[in-house]
């Protein structure tokens, strides 16, 4: 703390915890300009709550994007978003309970997928086969097998643009931090720490099963997930804390941070993973995924340590989330608020000095979700995949590594990855957890 004041650290941490800023609906409507119908990108949304809605609002800041259709299993969400979209663009979108009907619209150019994770693979492969470009929320999928199937589909429909919602990739201060990491100034980097401490997260109270809310097609919401009675804890936002639909904080936050860490280190697949944790903060609440977890990933030349905890904001270096590249000469600490250098010291001729030159803290610059969605639209209009900051291969690397962390946790032992075979070495149990296991008559898309 000698080099940084507590107030400065706290301010950066608070900024880093924020996701993005989107203008109010009324302001969005005022900002939109008249654009010829021929120049508009016709957009649909599959899953219109949460990030699906945030992604759509970000896209609608571009006057040459028009939302023509919404699909959601919850009629109340559909009705609310239809009103909101009409306020923004002056035109009401068509509404669908089943996204497959929406995809039959030949005028639809692209879709946003904002569903729970267990629907991403089906929605993306269906959208590509219907000839649509895709903006898919992270994590890419709910299993390693689904990630691989989606990669195969992207190669088959290689004329379609796919952007994964890991929007930190569009952040200019992330780009500059990665340049510094790769410059060699930090010295030999043998450990990278990535973490998400979520103090705002309270216990999920145990609630009884009940009838689905009126207007909800619950069977369609479940899709390929196991058949279960409706429970409000598993619906909408909290779905991410149940293995049937998602992978907890490891895949929810982990893909953001792991993505940047591996990209900076030019790494893709670990040699081994081990993990330990559990429901240590709220052992009796309704969630399934661990609220406390540490996972160690071994790569060539360095280890990566993932940590997450709910109910605690005091993360590493005083930041609730972030990435630390720990080198022999200095440590670079990066999060959504900016980045900073913590030099190591050495003594020469009796004088203590830094091993690398100190630099001022580098702040965040811009709204990166908007940059991310703008890049997707530009890539479509220019037919140029190079404009995508987080294509499907990038999204798959982060998701697959995060799923490996969860598999290590579930097996309770160190697991070893065979990159050439795409499976774990001599581990039937771990390899079984790679699979998607679709149910209720739903079929896994063909790779």
What is the per-residue pLDDT across 17-56, written as a single tens digit (0 to 9) for each?
A: 455 678 889 888 888 999 998 899 999 999 999 999 999 9
What does the angle CA 82 – CA 52 – CA 438 come to, to the nearest 5 degrees?
115
Q: What is the mean pLDDT of the chain?
A: 94
pLDDT at 101 over 50: yes
Q: What is the pLDDT of residues 319-350, one digit of tens each?
A: 999 999 999 999 999 999 999 999 999 998 88
Instruction: Calculate mean pLDDT across residues 208-220.
Output: 97
pLDDT of residue 447: 73
* C-beta of residue 282 within 8 angstroms of C-beta of residue 233: no
pLDDT band for position 15 (cuts 50, 70, 90): very low
Token digits for 171? 């952040």
pLDDT at 397 over 60: yes
pLDDT at 114 over 90: yes
Distance CA(354)–CA(358), nearest Å, equals 8
* C-beta of residue 396 within 8 angstroms of C-beta of residue 263: no
Instruction: Calculate mean pLDDT across residues 295-302.
Output: 98
Distance CA(278)–CA(282), nearest Å, equals 9
pLDDT of residue 364: 95
Could you give the percent of the chain with pLDDT greater than 70? 96
3-class SS string, 243-293: CCCCCHHHHHCHHHHHHHHHHHCCCCCCCEEEEEEECCCCCCCCCCCCCEE
pLDDT of residue 17: 43
Q: How would you classify residue 408: left for phi > 0, otherwise alpha for psi between -120 and 50, otherwise beta?
A: alpha
pLDDT of residue 315: 94
pLDDT of residue 23: 85
Instruction: Calculate mean pLDDT across residues 161-177.
Output: 98
pLDDT of residue 112: 98
Could you give the percent of the chain with pLDDT greater than 90? 89
Distance CA(259)–CA(398), nearest Å, equals 5
Token digits for 441? 């008559």
* Residue 217: C-alpha distances to residues 78, 221, 413 (Å): 12, 6, 40
Nearest to 118 by CA among 439, 371, 446: 439
pLDDT at 14 over 50: no
pLDDT of residue 9: 42
pLDDT band for position 96 (cuts 50, 70, 90): very high
* Residue 300: C-alpha distances to residues 271, 273, 297, 306 (Å): 8, 13, 10, 17
Run of H or E residues at 419: none
Instruction: Calculate mean pLDDT across residues 375-380.
Output: 98
pLDDT band for position 179 (cuts 50, 70, 90): very high
pLDDT of residue 13: 38
Domains in the chain, CATH or no CATH each: 17-168+372-392 (3.40.50.720), 171-365+395-432 (3.30.360.10)
Distance CA(243)–CA(334), nearest Å, equals 30
Nearest to 104 by CA among 150, 57, 68: 68
| Bridge partners of residue 164, in order along the sequence | 136
pLDDT band for position 184 (cuts 50, 70, 90): very high
* C-beta of residue 247 within 8 angstroms of C-beta of residue 239: no
All residues at 6 or more sequence positions from 350 whose CB lies less than 8 Å from its CB, including other chains: none
Instruction: Calculate mean pLDDT across residues 270-297.
Output: 98
Q: CA end-to-end span of the chain, whole Å?
A: 52
Token digits for 15? 């900024």
* C-beta of residue 67 within 8 angstroms of C-beta of residue 44: yes
Instruction: Calculate mean pLDDT across residues 99-106.
Output: 97
Q: Kindly calculate the radius of gyration of the chain based on its CA atoms and give it in whole angstroms.
A: 22
What does the angle CA 295 – CA 299 – CA 303 come to, to the nearest 5 degrees?
50
Instruction: Calculate mean pLDDT across residues 413-423.
Output: 97
Distance CA(151)–CA(158), nearest Å, equals 10
C-alpha dihedral sign at 264, 376, 253, 12:
positive
């Amino acid at each position: 703390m000698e080099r940084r004041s507590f107030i400065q650290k706290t301010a950066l941490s608070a900024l880093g915890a924020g996701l993005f800023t989107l203008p109010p609906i009324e302001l969005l409507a005022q900002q939109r300009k008249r654009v010829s119908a021929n120049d508009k990108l016709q957009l649909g949304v599959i899953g219109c709550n949460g990030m699906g809605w945030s992604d759509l609002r970000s896209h609608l800041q571009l006057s040459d994007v028009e939302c023509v259709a919404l699909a959601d299993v919850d009629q109340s969400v559909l009705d609310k978003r239809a009103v909101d979209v009409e306020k923004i663009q002056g035109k009401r979108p068509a509404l669908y309970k089943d996204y497959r009907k929406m995809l039959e619209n030949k005028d639809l150019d692209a879709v946003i997928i904002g569903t729970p994770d267990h629907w991403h693979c089906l929605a993306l492969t269906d959208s590509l086969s219907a000839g649509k470009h895709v903006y898919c929320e992270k994590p890419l999928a709910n299993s390693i097998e689904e990630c691989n199937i989606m990669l195969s589909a992207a190669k088959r429909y290689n004329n379609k643009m796919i952007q994964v919602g890991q929007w930190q990739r569009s952040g200019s201060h992330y780009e500059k931090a990665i340049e510094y990491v790769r410059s060699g100034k930090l010295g030999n980097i043998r450990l990278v720490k990535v973490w998400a401490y979520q103090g705002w997260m309270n216990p999920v109270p145990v609630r009884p099963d009940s009838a689905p809310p009126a207007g909800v097609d619950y069977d369609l919401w479940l899709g390929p997930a196991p058949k279960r009675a409706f429970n409000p804890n598993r619906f909408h936002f909290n779905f991410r804390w149940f293995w049937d639909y998602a992978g907890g904080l490891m895949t929810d936050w982990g893909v953001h941070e792991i993505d940047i860490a591996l990209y900076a280190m030019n790494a893709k697949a670990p040699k081994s993973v081990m993990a330990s944790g559990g429901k240590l903060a709220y052992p009796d609440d309704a969630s399934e995924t661990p609220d406390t977890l540490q996972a160690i990933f071994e790569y060539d030349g360095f280890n990566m340590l993932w940590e997450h905890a709910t109910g605690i904001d005091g993360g590493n270096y005083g930041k609730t989330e972030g990435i630390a590249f720990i080198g022999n000469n200095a440590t670079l600490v990066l999060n959504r608020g900016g980045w900073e250098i913590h030099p190591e010291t050495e003594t020469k001729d009796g004088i203590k000095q830094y091993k690398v030159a100190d630099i001022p803290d580098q702040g965040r610059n811009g709204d990166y979700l908007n940059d991310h969605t703008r890049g997707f639209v530009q890539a479509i209009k220019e037919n140029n995949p190079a404009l995508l900051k987080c294509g499907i291969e990038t999204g798959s690397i982060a998701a697959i590594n995060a799923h490996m962390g969860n598999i290590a946790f579930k097996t309770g032992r160190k697991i070893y990855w065979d990159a050439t075979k795409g499976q774990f070495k001599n581990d039937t149990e771990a390899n079984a957890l790679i699979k998607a296991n679709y149910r209720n008559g739903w079929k896994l898309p063909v790779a």
